Every structure is written in C-alpha cells, then in structure tokens.
Amino acid sequence: MARLSSKNPSFLMLFLISCCLLFQSSVFASTQKCIHQHFSALLDLKNGFDFYPSSFSTLSTWNSNNTDCCSWEGITCDGATGHVISLDLSSFHISGRIDFESLFHLWSLQRLSLADNYFDSSPIPSGFDKLIGLTHLNLSRLYFYGQIPLEISLLTSLVSLDLSFNYYYNESGLLTLKLENPSIAVLFQNMSSLRELHLDSANFPAEGSEWGQALFSSLPRLHKLSLQYCELSRPIHSSLSKLRFLSELDLSYNNLSSVMPNFPRNLRKLSLRNCGLLGPIHSSLSKLHFLSELYINGNNLSGPLPSFLVNLCKLEYLDLSFNSLSGPIPSSYGNKLLNLKVIILGSNLLNGTIPSSLFSLPSLRMLDLKRNELGGRLDVIHNASSTQLEFIYLGDNNLQGMVPSFIFKLAKLRTISLSFNNFSGVVELGLFQNLKNLSLLDLSNNNLSVKDGSSNSSFFDFPQIIELSLRSCNMRKFPNFLQNQEQMQSLDLSNNRITGVIPKWIWKVGNETSYYLNLSHNALQRIEPPFSHVPLSNWVVLDLSSNRLEGSLPIPSPSTSFFSLSNNSLSGEIPVAICNITSLQVLNLSRNRLTGWIPRCLSEISDVLNVLNLRGNAFNGALLQSFKEGCNVQTLDLSENQLEGQVPRSLANCTMLEVLNLGNNQINDTFPSWVDALSQLRILVLKSNKFYGPITLRRTNQSFRMLQIIDLSSNSFMGGLPSNMFQSWKAMMEEDKSQSKFLGRIVTSTQNTVYYQDTVTVMIKGLERELTKILTIFTAVDLSNNYFQGDIPASLGILKSLRLLNMSRNGFTGQIPTSLENLTVLESLDLSQNYISGEIPWQLTKLTFLSVLNLSQNHLVGSIPQIKQFFTFTNESFQENSGLCGPPLSRKCIAPPSVIPTFEVATSKLNWEFMWIGFGVGYGVGMGAFFWTLALWTKGSIEYNRFIDRMLSLIFPSAIFAPKRRP
C-alpha cells in the first residue's frame, strides 16, 4: 500500500474524495424513505384490520399522511434501499381476517411476527414462499389449524420458525396444526439453516420414535427445540444425542416413556414437565455439566433425590415438584449447588429435616418445599442477614417448634408461607416490621398464638403487605397495622376468636386495590355504624359467614363477585338494591333470620349469578319465577323456608343448573317432569313439601344423565315407579374414581379464584346428616315417606355406583328384586315399613359394603341369611316381619312336623267351624260399615280422611288408599 504523506499528493486527494463520497452515501442512506410499493401494501394491510376489543385500536402512525412507512410502529427498513425488512405486529389485538396478499407484496421481509392476535380460525394460507428472504417467522397463537403448507419448506433461509399454540375448538372437537402431508421429513429437509423450532400443540401423527428420527436427522444444527402438548408418545429416539448444538429442549406435556436417551452434552435447559415419566430420576442427566435449568415436575417419579445432581454445578433452576419422590433432602445440595437460584421440591413425599445449608446458599432466591412430610425443627442460621432469599414456601409439612428467629433477619424476604404445620408458641407481628420487602405472609393453621405487637404509633412503619393469611391463629382482635395497608389485596383472618365490632376502617384497607376479605368463623357481632359510611366497597370477595352478626343485611359494592353472610343472625328483608351488584356470582345468605318475599329481581340477574343460597331462613310467598334465557345459575338452594306455589317452568332456561334444592317448604305441585331437560343436574331435592301425583318423565332415554342425588321423600307422590325410570341415570351406573372431585363452584376474577362448596342434607340410618363436601362419586336415592306402590323395579340394579337407597314408608309390594346384588358399593339400604313379601334374597349377601340395612315392618318370611355382612346387623333391621326367623331374631327356624296328633286335628277342625261361623257374621257387619265409611270418606275433612285411610288399610293392606307411614 502507498504510504500516506505529503510526498504523494495525488493519492491523498483520491482518499479525501472517497471519504466524501462515502459520507454523502451514508447521509443519503440514513434518510432513505420506504419505497412506494411497500407503503401502499402496508396501508392495504391495515385497512383490513379489526381490533378486539375495539378499545385496543392502535397503529395510529400507519396513515397516508405519514408517507415514510419506515417510521411506523412495528416496521424496520433497510437504510440503504428503503425496503421493509422487518414487520412485528405481535400482540396488537388484531382480529378477523387479514389481507395476506398485501402482506406477500413485502417481498424483502427478513423478519415477520404476527403472534398473539385474534385471527379468524383457518388453515395457514399459501403464499409464504413469496417471502423467500425470511430468516425469522413467528405465527404463534393465531388460531390456525390444519396441515402446515408445503410452501413453508421453501423458506430455506429460515433461522427461527415459531408455529406454536395454534388450535381451534368447534363442534367436531379440537383442531390443531398437523404434520401429515407433507411429512416431517419432507417439510424440514431443506431447512438446514434452522436454529430455533417451536411447534407446541402441533399434531405429530407418527407414534413411537419415528417423529424424532425424522426431525433430528433433518435439522442437525438446531439450538432450540420446543414440542409441548404435541401428544408425543413412546421413547425419544437416540438420534437426539447427535444434535450437538442443542442448548434448549422442551418436550413438556407429552406421554414419553421413562426410558431416557443420552441427551446432547451442551444442553443448558431441559424441560420434561408432565411427561408421564416413571421410576427414579434417570442417571443420563448426570452428564449434562452445562445444564442451568432442569424442569421435571408433574411426573410420576419415585425413589430418593439423586445425589448425582450435585455434579451439575452450573444448575440455577431446579423443579422436581409434583412427583412421588421420597426420603430426605441431601445436605450436599446446600454445599455443592452454589449457583442455585430456584429450588422447587414441593408436592412430593420427602421426609426428614430440612438441611440448614439450603438457607445459606449464596444465590438462592426461592426455596419451595411445601406439601411434603418434612418434620423436625428449623436450625438456627447465623448468616441469615447476608442471604438472597426472597421466597420461602414451607407449608403443608410437619415442621415443629417455634417460628425460627432467623426468618425475621432475611432482609430481602418477599414471601414467607408456613401454613399447615405444627409450629407453636407466640408470634408478635411486630417482628416482621423490619422486613421492608415483605408482601406475602401466611402463618395459618398451626398451633400459634399470633399477637398484634404493634402500637398505634408504629404501624406506619410496617411493610406494605399484599397477601396476609392468619387463619386459625388464636387472634382476639384486628391488628392495628392494617389501618395503614394501602396495597393489600387479600386478607384472611378467619377461624379466630375475634369478637365485637367490625371496624369501619376495614373497608378502606387496600385503598381500592383489595380483592379478598375473609372474616368468617369468628365471634363478630355487628358492623360499626353508620351503614351509610360503610359501603363494603373495595372487596371483590367478601366472606363474613359463621359469626354472630345481627341487624339488617349490608349491601356490598357493585364490584363484588362473592358475598357470603351465612350462619349469622341477620333479620329483615333482602333489599332490592342487592340486584344492583352487576358482577355478583355467589350470594350465600343461608342460615339467618331473614323474612319476607325473595326479591324477584334476583332471577333477572341470573345471567351473571352462579350460586343463590337462601337456605334456612323464613322467606315466604312464591318462588322466583322469571329466570331468563341465558341463565347461568348452577346452584339454587331455597330449602328450609316457607315458600309456596309451584316450581317455575322458567328454570328450564338455567341449562347449567347442577344443584336444585327446594326441600322443606310448602310447595304444592306435581313432579316437575320438565327438569329432565337440565342435562347438567346433579342434585335434585324436593323433600318435605306438598308434591303429589305420579312420577312422569318426558324423555326416559335422556333424563337425569348426570344425576347423583335425588331426594323426593316426605311428599304425597303416588302410583308405581316406571320400570324404565333409571335407565338413563348414567352417573349412578359407573363409578369413575379418577374423576372424583368435590361438587362446588369456582368464582373467577382478575386477581384470583375462590371456591364455593355445595352442601346437602341426606338421611342416613334415620338421622339427618349434612354433607359439607359432596364428592361427585357420592350417589343417593331417597323416595321414602310417600304413597308409592307396586313392585320395586328390577331396573334399580343397573345403578351400580349407588351408595344410599331409601324406599321406606311407602306401599311397595312384591319381593325384593334380586338385581340389587349389582349395587356392589351400596352402603345403606332401607326398605322398611312397606308390604314387601317373600324371602330375603341370598344375593344381598354380596353387598359387602353394606353397613346399614333396615327391612323391618314388612311381610318377609323365611330364614335370615347367615353369611358375611348379615352377621353385623341387629334385631332392629328385621323386626316386625312375622314370618322371618333366625339370628339376630329370637324366633328360631323350625321345620314343620311330619305327623300331627289326633287330638290336635280335632281341635283344629272344631276351631275352623267356629271361625267360619264368626266370619259370616263379621262379614255382613263389616261390609255394611265399609260402605258407610266409604260414603263419609269421600266428603270428610283431611284429618278424617287420613283416619279412614288408616282403618281401611288395616282391612285391605294392598289397596291404593294405604296410608303413608310416618314415625
């Protein structure tokens, strides 16, 4: 190269001219506007946009007045040419269909992201091969479905492809993206440049390990691979280990075998969440020395925590929660895994004590050991003030002793949860005052006595808590520091010993940010007046149940979703203003002293209301009538009141109804046969009313498919039971324990979820028992204390999961059907006080779960079976059956003698002669009395009719006017 100096002026001049030209070029390039073709294409693209919701309308810079599209939102241009090279419209709330033809005119695009919008569900459109220069394509979360088009395979410059979480539900089920034709091998055979691939929720048709072999062989240079929710099954193909550049692998939420391959040695992140993995944690993980993130939570892993994990010295995030791992936590974890930031071992079967070294890990931010069987005391940590711990979850264990003092020295602590342990002693809340970052504190359900420990002058220095749970902490008053809590969203002081007045300042806690307030199960007596200054305004969930509150019903704010004042002593009527709570999902005012009519407007807000429970008050008048179309009520409990009239037919609009309890009222109606259209109905209680007439069903093939509890007892139903009455009661036919859960309602909100628990009262062994938690596998049929007649239908035998059957105090005749042997989980059977005859079927001895049996006061004969469960039943189960014999009855079973003495025959003959004479005289007198009483019976009062019914039943036991038997 020529040397630059004054001796070579020509070269120097040439160099200066070149610099000027380059500078001019750079200035020109920096001000280059987008080309007109791309400007027009982008405007056409925007003109097809809608936004959902409309309030999110954005892209204000995209307009014809601003001709430089390079300055628009989401646009990046090549400075030298003005070509659009990047378009990022992710999360702009764009909805409907977009003009892909206009999009494909942006032929210079290198990066394109349309992710997280609301496009109309459709297959991925063809034409992406026109964007041949694309290096990054993100079409995730756009409701696309169907086959991934072949044109994608022509984008050979792609470095990153994200088609994840595209799916759509319609009447035919779930529709997802597919890799069938073209196959995986064809689709990716030319994409050797691909480094990142995200196909979460796509459908891989090939089972076994074929998908892995095809994918791993086609993309040898992959760095990141994510295949969550792809319904993959069987072992991962061994060729995975050949992806030597792979650093991140996520196969979560598939059904993989516990046989693990040799993973690529360069893996930094491995996620196998919810993959159905079995057995111990695989030793192949010990070779991943560069691993920094390991997530194997939500599997069925068992055995001890492996000691080889300490070899993963770069590990920062470890999640082994929701498995069945057992044994102690190795102390070496706290000595060797010095880079750990998060360790989550919750929801396992771990036992032993917690190594104190875990609390001293220099980088640890989160320690989650909740829901295990860990015990003992927490050791003293001397260097607690220097630790980085921010989140500690130790709830649901067996930890003992005092709350350790080092907790109060963790300066960076944000969350501490010690609930459901055996901690004891006294804790003063003032000890937490120095933890300035504390936002969640949970000491619930221990053996602690929590005291305020803060004075009126010091509560201003208390940290701003977001969630505070002090349930069952033996508290006797409201903590003073709550008066200065401006960020609190959740406050639970339930199940304590707080008495007296609810102070009016409690409604200002959280300063309009509060969400959840639970003061239930205390001894609170009233709300501090005046009510006009107590709007109960800023609590979305408000639970004041099970106290001693008196006076009129307070009205919460229009933002309240959950409102419970059950089990108090409130009086007066329900104000109509309660219907102004437009977001109300649960209203529970049960077990109070409320009176008057139920406001009709409550049925008019049924499109929002999920639960209406007014049980156990003194309401009178007619039932609610105007349930409109779109009714969302799932639980309607109006039982134990004084309501009259008929069951409103508008309830048929409540197609989501699961619990209908109208028991213990004065309802006068026939059986509401139209309720069989309520396909979700699980509990139907009409007991102790004035229902009458026969049971009729409109759609016997579809009726009550989800029904698990039906109680029609203590009414005036009559006639025989339809033989096909039970044939569609599917929920009582097959027991699915895997799907067993408690019946209730989840109330959702922007902050959290709250669970409403359904309850019902059933009759077991002659005693009423309230089930506060109803398992969906609990089934019961109670038809007792009515006028039912005829044979007990043999079709009852198809209800194989039935647990309680009560048909007592009716007029059933015939024999006990042998088909009851199929009720293999039956626990209680009451057929007493009927007119059942014949022998006790020996097939009933197969009912090995039967603990309550009552066959008393019938016409049964023969010997009582002497086998299995029948040995456990007492005399009361069989008494007043004149023909029964054998234990436990004192009457012995004796075979009839073969020879009768002569004098006994003569005596017998003489007795029969006198009996026939007496019968003739008695018959004449009796028939005259019969017609005389029958004439009076047709015109008499109800009380007299019941007396005549009883007399006639003694003469003609099987007649239709047989009285119902009441204790």
Torsion angle, alpha carbons of 853, 859, 861, 865, to 10: -10
pLDDT at 31 over 60: no
CA neighbor of 809 nearest in space, from 837, 783, 785: 785
pLDDT at 937 over 50: no
Q: What percent of the chain has pLDDT over 90?
A: 58
Rg, the chain, Cα only: 38
Rounded Cα–Cα distance for residues 423 and 474 (Å): 13
Rounded Cα–Cα distance for residues 294 and 304 (Å): 17
Q: Which residues contact 712 (CB under 8 A, 6 or more apart)?
A: 671, 686, 687, 691, 695, 782, 783, 786
Ranges 205-219, 456-470, 925-939, most confident: 456-470
Host H or E run for residue 659: strand 659-661
Rounded Cα–Cα distance for residues 606 and 590 (Å): 18
Q: What is the pLDDT of residue 558?
A: 83
Q: Averaged over 616-637, what is the pLDDT?
A: 92
Q: Give per-residue pLDDT as tens, 564-575.
A: 999 999 999 999
DSSP 230: S
What is the number of other CB atoms lying within 10 angstroms of the CB of residue 114?
A: 22
Q: Averaged over 47-62, what is the pLDDT?
A: 78
pLDDT at 550 over 70: yes
Q: Which two tokens stand for residue 83?
A: 């070509």
Q: What is the pLDDT of residue 958?
A: 44
Q: What is the pLDDT of residue 15?
A: 54
Output the average pLDDT for the chain. Answer: 85
Q: Averaged over 863-888, what is the pLDDT?
A: 90
Higher pLDDT, 963 or 635: 635
DSSP 297: -
pLDDT at 7 over 50: no
pLDDT-based confidence at residue 745 (cuts at 50, 70, 90): low
Asked if residues 587 and 554 have their Cβ atoms less than 8 Å apart, the reply is no
CA 887 vs. chain centroid, Å, equals 49
Q: What is the pLDDT of residue 207?
A: 54
pLDDT-based confidence at residue 530 (cuts at 50, 70, 90): low
Q: What is the pLDDT of residue 65?
A: 84
Rounded Cα–Cα distance for residues 6 and 817 (Å): 122
Q: What is the pLDDT of residue 55?
A: 62
**For residue 775, how many C-alpha atoms fall within 13 Å in the half-sphere facing its CB?**
13
CA neighbor of 592 nearest in space, from 635, 625, 553, 637: 553
pLDDT at 819 over 90: yes
Q: Averaged over 543-556, what is the pLDDT?
A: 93
Phi, psi for residue 377 in degrees, rounded to 5: -105, 155
pLDDT-based confidence at residue 626 (cuts at 50, 70, 90): confident
Strands 342-344 and 317-319: parallel
Strands 744-748 and 753-757: antiparallel
Task: Judge if 121-276 and 486-591 fold alike in CATH terms.
Answer: yes
Rounded Cα–Cα distance for residues 875 and 887 (Å): 8
Q: What is the pLDDT of residue 531?
A: 53
Q: Note the pTM of the prediction, 2 decimals.
A: 0.81
Q: Class of 121-276 per CATH?
A: alpha beta
Looking at 2.60.120.1130, 3.80.10.10, 3.30.1280.10, 3.40.50.360, the CATH number of the domain 486-591 comes to: 3.80.10.10
Q: Averaged over 92-118, what is the pLDDT?
A: 92
Q: Averaged over 861-866, what is the pLDDT?
A: 92
Q: What is the pLDDT of residue 458?
A: 59
Rounded Cα–Cα distance for residues 448 and 379 (Å): 19
Asked if residues 291 and 267 have their Cβ atoms less than 8 Å apart, the reply is yes
Rounded Cα–Cα distance for residues 879 and 829 (Å): 15
pLDDT at 103 over 70: yes
Label residue 919 exposed, middle or buried (CB < 10 Å: 0-12, 13-18, 19+): exposed
pLDDT-based confidence at residue 901 (cuts at 50, 70, 90): very low
Q: Give per-residue pLDDT as tens, 364-406.
A: 999 999 999 999 999 878 777 778 999 999 999 999 999 999 9
Window from 61-65, 129-133, 134-138 with minimum mean pLDDT: 61-65
Window from 115-119, 231-235, 812-816, 833-837 with minimum mean pLDDT: 231-235
Q: Where are the domains of the chain?
A: 121-276, 486-591, 592-885, 902-955
Q: Which two tokens stand for residue 406?
A: 């080092």
Q: What is the pLDDT of residue 420?
A: 97
Torsion angle, alpha carbons of 568, 574, 580, 583, to 10: 40
Rounded Cα–Cα distance for residues 637 and 660 (Å): 6
Q: Which two tokens stand for residue 859?
A: 């016409």
pLDDT at 748 over 90: no
Q: What is the pLDDT of residue 479?
A: 92
pLDDT-based confidence at residue 40 (cuts at 50, 70, 90): very high
Rounded Cα–Cα distance for residues 416 and 263 (Å): 37
pLDDT-based confidence at residue 13 (cuts at 50, 70, 90): low
pLDDT at 355 over 60: yes
Rounded Cα–Cα distance for residues 492 and 520 (Å): 9
Q: Give per-residue pLDDT as tens, 304-345.
A: 999 999 999 999 999 999 999 999 999 999 999 999 999 999
pLDDT at 940 over 80: no
Rounded Cα–Cα distance for residues 904 and 856 (Å): 33
What's domain 592-885's superfamily in CATH?
A: Ribonuclease Inhibitor (3.80.10.10)
Window from 8-17, 701-710, 958-967 with minimum mean pLDDT: 958-967
pLDDT-based confidence at residue 536 (cuts at 50, 70, 90): low
| Residues in the chain, total | 967
Sign of CA dihedral 736, 741, 744, 750: negative
Rounded Cα–Cα distance for residues 311 and 309 (Å): 5
Higher pLDDT, 740 or 787: 787
Q: Which residues contact 65 (CB under 8 A, 6 or more apart)?
A: none
CA 948 vs. chain centroid, Å, equals 54
pLDDT-based confidence at residue 633 (cuts at 50, 70, 90): very high
